[in-house]
Amino acid sequence: MNFFLQLVVTGLALGMVYALVAIGFVIILKCSNAFNIAQGHFVLIGGYLGYTFLVPFGLPIWASLILAIAVAVVMGLLIERLAIRPLVGQPELAMIMMTIALATVLEGLATLIWGGEYKTYHGVLPTVTLKLGQISIPPESLIGLIVSVVTVALLMALFRYTKIGLAMRATAEDLQVVQSVGIKATTVYAVSWVIACVVGVIGGMLLGGVSGVMIPLAEIGLKAFAVVLLGGVNSIGGAIVAGIILGVLENVAAGYLDPLLPGGGLAQIFPFIVMIIVLIFRPYGLFGLVRIERI
């Protein structure tokens, strides 16, 4: 039982990070109607940034986090200005192609700057281990849980209570209406890309602490994609729930199923199997936006 709870708790932390990355997906999907293939590469950059600030620079974790977020903001603004703005009003496919290009460029940049080597900052984080009865929560999980919960809460508040949040939700519904009342679409896009970059980079820092950073970390984007599909492509709440489900499933599968099969690896595919089963019964995902039909 303790083993199970232990797996659930660390899975919860992992799942929150997945959810965080998935929110980046959902935001771009909502404002531009395009899948952002480069979301996983934001994560990759985040991991390397985390390594750079924590290890060679030797900064404390909070300072590294703030610096990484600052870099992410600049990255988001640059991406919007240089790559996305010229494509506003073009077919969605053009936008998706552009995100593929972005993914390639970011991967190239990462190789160029960090050499594409395996970097780790596993031991750098403070080694507090929280004990809850028999369960111990490792520091990476604890930090991941706190940071991602706070970030998600801040984002939810942004959408719900601020003017720019309202503008973003309105843009997701009808771009022309939004332009006709004088909201600048470019501002909304810029904010969306900044948020996508920031959540990606934060997620990358947190995941990098657990598993180390290498180019394949970008594949986390695929997992976030699964989270988004499971949760319903345009629901932020759905992304959070689905992220947690997948994180916990992955961890529990790793704990119980991997020892059964020689070579392991079942944990990696188990969440996807669950996703496929759910999608067969609920093609819009768990919390897909209800299509409003008046009777």
Partner 1 sequence: MLEVNNIEVVYMSVIQVLRGVSLEVGDGKIVALLGANGAGKTTTLKAISGMLKTEEGEVTVGTINFDGKRLDRYGPEAIAGMGISQAMEGRRVLEHLTVEENLLVGAYCRKDRAGVKEDLEVVFDYFPKVKHLRRRVSGYLSGGEQQMLVIGRALMARPKLMLLDEPSLGLAPLMVQDIYEIIKRINADQKMAILLVEQNARAALGIADYGYVMENGRVALGGPADKLRDNEDVREFYLGLSAVGSKKSYRDVKHYHRRKRWLA
132 vs 177, which CB is nearer to partner 1? 177
From 123, 131, 163, 281, residue interacting with partner 1 (rule: CB under 8 A): 163
Binding mask 261-290 for partner 1 (x = CB under 8 A): ----------------------------x-
Residues found in the chain: 295
From 178, 233, 246, 286, residue interacting with partner 1 (rule: CB under 8 A): 178
Does position 294 interact with partner 1 (CB under 8 A)? The reply is yes
232 burial level (CB within 10 Å; 0-12, 13-18, 19+):
buried
How many residues of this chain bind partner 1 (CB under 8 A)? 22
> What are the tokens at 109?
């940049």
Does position 184 interact with partner 1 (CB under 8 A)? The reply is yes
131 vs 163, which CB is nearer to partner 1? 163
Neighbours of 55 (CB within 10 A): 14
Residue 47: φ, ψ to 5°: -60, -45
10 vs 235, which CB is nearer to partner 1? 235
185 vs 266, which CB is nearer to partner 1? 185
Stretch that binds partner 1, among 72-80, 168-176, 210-218, 257-265 (CB under 8 A): 168-176
Binding mask 16-55 for partner 1 (x = CB under 8 A): ----------------------------------------
End-to-end CA distance of the chain, in Å? 50
81 vs 211, which CB is nearer to partner 1? 81
Minimum Å distance from CB 186 to partner 1?
9
- Cα angle 65, 227, 150 (rounded to 5 degrees) comes to 30
Chain residues 48-107 in contact with partner 1, contact rule CB under 8 A:
89
Contacting residues for 235 by C-beta, under 8 A, at least 6 apart: 26, 285, 287, 288, 289
Does position 182 interact with partner 1 (CB under 8 A)? The reply is yes
Neighbours of 66 (CB within 10 A): 12
From 117, 174, 222, 273, residue interacting with partner 1 (rule: CB under 8 A): 174
**For residues 7 and 242, what is the distance between their CA atoms, to the nearest angstrom?**
17
From 23, 68, 145, 167, residue interacting with partner 1 (rule: CB under 8 A): 167
Stretch that binds partner 1, among 138-146, 159-167, 217-225, 277-285 (CB under 8 A): 159-167
**For residues 282 and 18, what is the distance between their CA atoms, to the nearest angstrom?**
21
Does position 183 interact with partner 1 (CB under 8 A)? The reply is yes
182 vs 263, which CB is nearer to partner 1? 182
Does position 133 interact with partner 1 (CB under 8 A)? The reply is no
**For residues 272 and 269, what is the distance between their CA atoms, to the nearest angstrom?**
5
Neighbours of 216 (CB within 10 A): 11
User: Strand, coil or helix: what is 180?
Assistant: helix
Could you tell me if 188 and 164 are in contact, meaning their C-beta atoms sit under 8 angstroms apart? yes
Does position 239 interact with partner 1 (CB under 8 A)? The reply is no
Give the DSSP H/E element, type plus range, for residue 137.
Answer: strand 135-137
> What are the tokens at 289?
């936006």
Task: By CB under 8 A, name the binding residues for partner 1.
Answer: 89, 163, 166-167, 169-170, 173-185, 289, 292, 294
